[in-house]
Amino acid sequence: MTSNDMTQDGIPSDEAAARLWLRDPLVVHLGAGADPNLAARGIVVDRTTGTIVELIPAGGEPQGGAESVSEIVDASEHVITPGLINTHHHFYQTLTRAWAPVADLPLFGWLQNLYPVWARLTPRALELATTVAMAELLESGCTTAADHHYLFPTGMDEAIDIQVEVVRALGMRAMLTRGSMSLGEKDGGLPPQQTVQDAEVILADSRRLVEAHHERGAGAQIQIAFAPCSPFSVTTELMRESATLAAELDVRLHTHLAETIDEEDFCRERFGLRTVDYLESVGWLGDRAWLAHGVHFDDEEIRRLGAAGASVAHCPTSNMRLASGIARAVELEDAGVAVGLGVDGSASNDASNLIREVRQALYIQRLRYGAEAVNCDRVLDWATKGSAAALGRDDIGTIGIGRQADLAMFRLDGLAFSGAHDPIPALVLCGAEKADRVMVGGRWRVLDGHAIGADGVELDKDALIAAHQEEARRLIAG
């Protein structure tokens, strides 16, 4: 299918009111413990509403028969999963991948070397970085992404607005967080002074962004959350005021927490508290917050987080890259914490690939809990249902009647899958890298492995890469 066959919203031009049948897939991932026969013959999508309207069981057909659908897609060589959901990223960091001076450093040293580089960020650089990150995520099967943007150097006052435009152009969903840093080096924080802002500026812009861009309810494309960067880069007052404003405006809260022992030591020395105690002291210990990493929680803290309804974004590749440790994901989930997956910033992961992160989560968590406790279905649920819960959404992350038609379709062909027997284990264990097709709200956003923008035109990746590389070189060179 060519771009000329499509309307601007990605629906085929002669089927704008179509019901589409994804017929006879290898398997549909309905979640751990679900009966795969419930959708053995596929899924029917109403493309006018962007929702799933039928799951067709083994031996069945669409209600009204095959003639009741306008389009049939042969899915016999595909595994269909809910669109994957990325709960933690820093899109701008795609500009500083694989930079030798930080390639072998732990978190604090890594940050101290990169902060001055990131302080040179420009609007054009952020636009390109966001596009690269989201396109890479999209082609890996991701339909919704949360970005934690906390850098607002001179000239970057409209950073989140720039990201909103990219999200709309690509046709994905996003939780864009208005991050912040207000505790600079001269006041005992980690960031250099040129990267911090006054609390009044941060809070005013946070309110503006919610009023301008935040969407509510099923099918929301763009949502805003508040995300003070971390205990070592913001003041206690800003943490409290962000929680108060989030409650007033009914939006979510996000921050890094318990990522490293260095962070734990910082909280003890500066506040006299462990990280979860600090979280509670500033009014963040509740179901509005999802926390990036959560590697170093103790037993009691895990219990308290579960009782409070908090969520955790597990970032296995980043935690391995920076040698931060292994999050206690199984115990967190068993305690009632929603566990989602995040690729984290490309500079600490060097990739924005969520299906690859599923495999990483499986292996690193098996090191802690063993093979039987961490199976392929469970980690796929972290990347879908768990991630949706972490972002406060119940309209995405699962495949069911009435849910948003956010779907990823993966082929199991090529040498990597030769000899594989069972589709879900093959998807995870054999190392899938890219989705063949991806749908967001009933509209194709990836076809034949290539991202399709909201205008129905295939993304010019060669031009994007060239421009992005140029900005990356400029940023490093100063």
438-451 per-position pLDDT tens digit: 999 999 999 999 99
Strand order in the sheet with 19-23: 51-56, 42-46, 19-23, 71-74
CB 327 within 8 A of CB 374: no
CB 171 within 8 A of CB 457: no
pLDDT band at 184 (very low <50, low <70, confident <90, very high): confident
- Decide if pLDDT at 3 tops 70: no
- Decide if pLDDT at 14 tops 50: no
Q: How far apart are CA 471 and CA 478, in angstroms?
A: 10
CATH superfamily of 84-390: Metal-dependent hydrolases (3.20.20.140)
Per-residue burial over 154-185, b = 16 or more CB atoms within 10 Å of its CB, e = otherwise: eebeebbebbbebbebbbbbbbbbbbbbbbbe
Both structure tokens of 145? 């992404």
Q: Looking at residue 158, what is its pLDDT?
A: 97
pLDDT band at 189 (very low <50, low <70, confident <90, very high): confident
- Reported as a single tens digit per residue, the pLDDT across 239-257 is 999 999 999 999 999 999 9
Both structure tokens of 40? 């053995």
Q: Looking at residue 9, what is its pLDDT?
A: 47
Q: Which helix (H) or strand (E) holds 380?
A: helix 376-381
pTM value? 0.95
Domains of the chain by residue range: 3-82+397-461, 84-390
Alpha helices, H only, 84-235: 107-118, 123-139, 159-170, 199-213
- The predicted model gives 344-373 an average pLDDT of 96
- Reported as a single tens digit per residue, the pLDDT across 412-434 is 999 999 999 999 999 999 999 99
CB 87 within 8 A of CB 341: yes
- Decide if pLDDT at 64 tops 50: yes
CATH of domain 3-82+397-461: 2.30.40.10
pLDDT band at 16 (very low <50, low <70, confident <90, very high): very low
Nearest to 384 by CA among 166, 86, 147, 182: 86
CB 228 within 8 A of CB 243: no
Alpha helices, H only, 214-326: 236-249, 261-271, 275-281, 299-308, 316-321
What is the Cα 472 distance to its own chain's centre?
Answer: 23
Q: How far apart are CA 60 and CA 42, in angstroms?
A: 9
CB 311 within 8 A of CB 279: no
Phi-psi region of 309 (alpha: psi -120 to 50; beta: other; left: phi over 0): left
Both structure tokens of 337? 């914490």
Vertex 394 angle, CA 389 and 400, to 5°? 120
Q: How far apart are CA 293 and CA 70, in angstroms?
A: 45
The percent of residues in the chain predicted with pLDDT above 90, rounded, is 90
Q: Looking at residue 191, what is its pLDDT?
A: 85
**Residue 28 dihedral angles phi and psi, to the nearest 5°:** -115, 125
Average pLDDT of every residue of the chain:
94
Q: Which helix (H) or strand (E) holds 329?
A: helix 329-334
CB 201 within 8 A of CB 165: no
The percent of residues in the chain predicted with pLDDT above 70, rounded, is 96
- The predicted model gives 96-109 an average pLDDT of 94
Q: Please name the amino acid found at residue 467.
A: A
Strand order in the sheet with 443-447: 27-28, 78-82, 407-411, 437-440, 443-447, 450-451
Q: Looking at residue 5, what is its pLDDT?
A: 41
